[in-house]
Structure 1
Amino acid sequence: MKESCPIREGAGRHPEALALTFAGWSWTYAELDGGVGRWVAALRSRGVGPGDRVVVLSTNHAALVHLFLALGRLGAVMAPLNARLTPSELRPLAEEVAPRLTLALTPLRSHLPGAEPLESFADAVHEASSECPPLETEAPRVILFTSGTTGRPKGAVLTEGNFRASARCSEANLGAHPAPRWLGTLPLFHVGGLAMLTRTAYDGGCLVLRERFDADDTNRALDAEGVTHASFVATTLERVLDSRRDRPVPPTFRCALIGGGPVPAPLLARAKAAGIVSLQTYGLTETCSQAATEHPGEADGHTAGRALPGLEVRVVGPSGEPLEVGREGDIEVRGPTVMAGYLNRPEATREVLRDGWLRTKDLGRLDERGRLTVLARRTDLILRGGENVYPAEVEKVLADHPAVREVAVVGLPDAHWGEVPVAFVVMREGALSQELFGEWCRERLARFKLPSRFLEIEALPRNAMGKVERTVLRQRARDA
């Protein structure tokens, strides 16, 4: 099956509609179509064609949007690298991609030797190419490297069909909107950021792109720029509410997708009071963003919701057998958003893709309504005296305490129990009290799930993708 460029389609249907805004600039569909055409001509002049790969190092920027869309018209592949990585971390990733061309924002060019300036790459081209052939749904579009918290980063290959299906499935869950305006604060080197870009293009909407997240700026966008959708994690949602002093959002705002793990119940209540419909999600790079998401009419903050329409989520046992409702096991996902595989890693691909099912290596359970509760990465599971302790479950209880800003739970080796849970707590106010938190947890958790210690920490260590570095916390727990 072949698909045409959504910007070219939009330029034909609604040429004057806004497609992109960034840093005080804006592009209609007609203007963006012409701009992408110039990028196509510039790339073509450098020999970039079908199947070629282009490495790019950039924070969010309008030039990155133009590059992504132009590469799609050429049938070429974009490999955006994490702008927060060090040169020594970036080098092996770029080498693995083996690019035809390497681009970087000028302030980042020193991190990638040989990179050409991204923002001025197409400036010398004045004649736009009209080239815009249909693209096969199986054609690779992007190589996104996983965060590497459990080993060497792997390049997930996502196709045109993956992004199309992700947009279609998300719209089926959230409900159609005549012209959605997504606030793009997630980085475009992250699957969540690219999903917002492609979603707005396929849905005929506008990407309100920001270089980075800022709570005050986010509120200005909500209040004055007609933003209808946004994506947050618990900490950024809280900062938005703090910044606006819980003032209600305009009725134009439809909903916020919440990723990154469980959200404290008091925070969800604050968001609801401010008119923010907060939908918890579960997704991976390998599933092109969301795999499961709460439905706007059913959101209660207790689960990550059901599989998106068109996708399947199941929980299986040790031998791969599907488990009944309520049983805890390995989460697997099947559907048109699942990646094609890992770049240059056939063994790793075979390990995670079996009979069309993606083995996520996450643990969870389904309820009677098909809603998914995510419990832990298998590598984060704590085995205490033969009982499974899921960090997410303990973290949710502690996060609901009004004095807690953030929390992470890890396992510590123990001579008697094998492992015991240790909680690292970022306090919102006051001093950490072993007795207070111990009592709070005893009222809400079985005895074997209780943390053996509560350790106060100024901030949770996170990797360049913002994920908690549990290996660092385990070492700190041992040192303590």
Structure 2
Amino acid sequence: MRWTCPIRTGAENRPEALALTFAGQRWTYRELDAEVGRWMAALEGRGVKAGDRVALLATNDARVAHLFFALGRMGAVLAPLNARLTRAELRPLVEDVAPRLTLALGNLTERLPGAEPLESFADGVATTSSGSVPLEPTSPRVILFTSGTTGRPKGAVLTEGNFRASARGSEANLGAHPAPYWLGTLPLFHVGGLAMLTRTAYDGGCLVLRERFEAEDTNRALDEEGVTHASFVATTLERVLEERKDRPVPPTFRLALIGGGPVPAPLLARARAAGILALQTYGLTEACSQVTTERPDEADGRTAGRALPGVEVRIVGLEGESLAAGREGDIEVRGPTVMFGYLNRPEATREAVRNGWLRTKDVGVLDASGRLTVLSRRTDLIVRGGENIYPAELEAVLASHPAVREAAVVGVPDARWGEVPVAFVATRKGAVLPEDLGAWCRESLAGFKVPARFLEIESLPRNAMGKVERTVLRERAQKT
């Protein structure tokens, strides 16, 4: 099976439909197709060929989309790097990529020696390239580095087949939409951002791209720009609701995907009251974003939903045996969204993918309907005196306290119990750290699960995708 660029397909089938907006600029599919061709000509002029890699350091910008699709048509590979990393952190990643070309937004070039400014790369190129290398399911498209919380970051190689399968599975799960307008606030150096970019292109929709998330701007997009879909984490969803004072969203808005971990039930109810159908989802870089997502007609906020159509999820025990519904174990994923492998890391690839099953190192449980509840990262599991404690369970109870804005629980060494949970709590504006948190937890949790300490924090440290940086919290807890 071979495919052509989805922007080219859109230009042929829906030339005047809007494909991309950014910073007041708009591109129809016809215009975006021409712009991608111009970027192809610029890349060809620099000697970039099929199979070459291009490293990129950038925040969200329309030129990132132009570059991504241009490289795809050439059969070349994009390696977008996390714009939050330091020069020292970026160096080994660039060494792994061994790029033919290195680009960066002007204000980031100093972190990437030898990088050329992305803003001016295609300036002065008046010609366009109309060629296009046929794309196959195994054609590499991007190299995305994992967060590296358990060691040196690994570059997951995702293919054209991965992105198309993810887009098709998401569409089948959410329901077809004639032309989705997806608000793009997630970074394009992360799988979630790239999944939105490719999903809208394959669906013939429009990516309403933003440089970053801002609550006021997000609400303006919902109210005035016809946005139909968005992706949030719990904290950004709450900020959107607070900024709009829970005012209902317009009927044009259809739904929001919520990633980054479980969402407090009160927040989901608050979103529903404002007309936001918030669907919990579970995914990871190595599976090209979504693995499971709630279905709109059965969403209750209690699970992360079923596997996307075409994707399989199972729970296995310590010996790799499949476990029945209701039993806790390691989450494994199989299907066309699973990565090609890790760049230059054959042993790590063999360890991560066995017999086609991706070993996520996350702990979860499936119910009788096949809906997944994610309990913890295996590395986040807290074992207190032989009893397993899952941070997500404690965090949900803490987040339901009226004075608590957000909370995270980590395990720290303990001489008696081996490990005990410690909770970091950020309170709502004007509130002080409640003295009754221990009693509040005991109403819903067994005694061994109640945190040994409650530490106040202004806000939880998060990475670019809004996930809590638990390593930072563990270090802080051991020093406090």
Q: Which TM-score bucket, shorter chain as reference?
A: over 0.9
Q: Report the alpha carbon displacement of residue 240 of structure 1 after superposing the two structures with TM.
A: 0.5
Amino acid at match of 2:158: L
Q: Report the alpha carbon displacement of residue 26 of structure 1 after superposing the two structures with TM.
A: 0.2
**Separation in 2 of the partners of 1:444 and 1:30?**
57
Indicate the residue corresponding to 1:261 in structure 2. 261
**Any idea what the Cα deviations from partners look like across 1:25-53, whole Å, max 9, x if unmatched?**
00000000000001111111111111100
Q: Report the alpha carbon displacement of residue 333 of structure 1 after superposing the two structures with TM.
A: 0.4
Q: Is the 8 A contact 1:5 1:132 kept in 2?
A: yes
Amino acid at match of 2:359: R
Distance 1:173 1:250, change over 3 A: same
Q: Is the 8 A contact 2:255 2:278 kept in 1?
A: yes
Q: Report the alpha carbon displacement of residue 417 of structure 1 after superposing the two structures with TM.
A: 1.4
Q: Report the alpha carbon displacement of residue 461 of structure 1 after superposing the two structures with TM.
A: 2.3
The alignment yields a C-alpha RMSD, in angstroms, of 1.0
**Any idea what the Cα deviations from partners look like across 1:85-129, whole Å, max 9, x if unmatched?**
111111111111000000111111111111111122112211111
SS in structure 1 of the partner of residue 270 of structure 2: helix
Q: Is the 8 A contact 1:85 1:464 kept in 2?
A: no
Amino acid at match of 1:217: D
317-326 or 469-478, which moves further after superposition? Answer: 469-478
Amino acid at match of 1:447: G
**Separation in 2 of the partners of 1:70 and 1:477?**
47
Gaps of 5+ in 2: none
**Separation in 2 of the partners of 1:458 and 1:133?**
51
Listed as ranges, the matches of 1:38-53 within 5 Å are 38-53=38-53
SS in structure 1 of the partner of residue 83 of structure 2: coil
| 1:161 pairs with 2:161 | yes
Q: Report the alpha carbon displacement of residue 264 of structure 1 after superposing the two structures with TM.
A: 1.3
| 1:25 pairs with 2:25 | yes
Indicate the residue corresponding to 1:451 in structure 2. 451
SS in structure 2 of the partner of residue 195 of structure 1: helix
Amino acid at match of 1:367: D
Indicate the residue corresponding to 1:177 in structure 2. 177
Q: Is the 8 A contact 2:200 2:207 kept in 1?
A: yes
Indicate the residue corresponding to 2:473 in structure 1. 473
Indicate the residue corresponding to 1:433 in structure 2. 434
Q: Report the alpha carbon displacement of residue 475 of structure 1 after superposing the two structures with TM.
A: 2.2
**Separation in 2 of the partners of 1:413 and 1:41?**
57
**Separation in 1 of the partners of 2:290 and 2:474?**
29
Identity of paired residues, percent? 78
**Any idea what the Cα deviations from partners look like across 1:161-203, whole Å, max 9, x if unmatched?**
0000000000000000000000000000000000000000000
Indicate the residue corresponding to 1:143 in structure 2. 143
**Separation in 2 of the partners of 1:133 and 1:148?**
33
Amino acid at match of 1:391: P
Gaps of 5+ in 1: none
Indicate the residue corresponding to 2:320 in structure 1. 320
Q: Is the 8 A contact 2:403 2:434 kept in 1?
A: no
Q: Is the 8 A contact 1:426 1:456 kept in 2?
A: yes
SS in structure 2 of the partner of residue 158 of structure 1: strand
SS in structure 2 of the partner of residue 374 of structure 1: strand
Amino acid at match of 1:423: A
Number of aligned pairs? 479
Indicate the residue corresponding to 1:302 in structure 2. 302
**Separation in 1 of the partners of 2:462 and 2:272?**
28
Indicate the residue corresponding to 1:111 in structure 2. 111
Indicate the residue corresponding to 1:61 in structure 2. 61
**Any idea what the Cα deviations from partners look like across 1:7-27, whole Å, max 9, x if unmatched?**
111111110000000000000
**Separation in 2 of the partners of 1:34 and 1:461?**
41
**Separation in 1 of the partners of 2:367 and 2:403?**
31
Q: Is the 8 A contact 2:187 2:464 kept in 1?
A: no
**Separation in 1 of the partners of 2:105 and 2:469?**
28
SS in structure 2 of the partner of residue 135 of structure 1: coil
**Any idea what the Cα deviations from partners look like across 1:251-306, whole Å, max 9, x if unmatched?**
11110000111111111111000000000000000000000000011111111001
Indicate the residue corresponding to 1:332 in structure 2. 332
SS in structure 1 of the partner of residue 78 of structure 2: strand
Q: Is the 8 A contact 1:147 1:465 kept in 2?
A: no
Q: Is the 8 A contact 1:263 1:399 kept in 2?
A: no
**Separation in 1 of the partners of 2:73 and 2:476?**
49
Amino acid at match of 2:79: A
Amino acid at match of 1:41: A
Q: Report the alpha carbon displacement of residue 250 of structure 1 after superposing the two structures with TM.
A: 0.7
Q: Is the 8 A contact 2:233 2:466 kept in 1?
A: no
Amino acid at match of 1:275: G
TM-score, reference length from structure 1:
0.98
Indicate the residue corresponding to 1:247 in structure 2. 247
Amino acid at match of 2:44: R
Amino acid at match of 2:431: G
Distance 1:465 1:240, change over 3 A: closer
Q: Is the 8 A contact 2:281 2:292 kept in 1?
A: yes
SS in structure 2 of the partner of residue 124 of structure 1: coil
Q: Is the 8 A contact 2:156 2:286 kept in 1?
A: yes
**Separation in 2 of the partners of 1:431 and 1:105?**
42
Q: Is the 8 A contact 1:147 1:464 kept in 2?
A: no
Indicate the residue corresponding to 2:347 in structure 1. 347
Q: Is the 8 A contact 2:294 2:305 kept in 1?
A: yes
Amino acid at match of 1:371: R
| 1:393 pairs with 2:398 | no
**Separation in 2 of the partners of 1:142 and 1:422?**
38
| 1:93 pairs with 2:93 | yes
Q: Is the 8 A contact 2:145 2:154 kept in 1?
A: yes
Q: Is the 8 A contact 1:60 1:212 kept in 2?
A: yes
Amino acid at match of 1:197: L
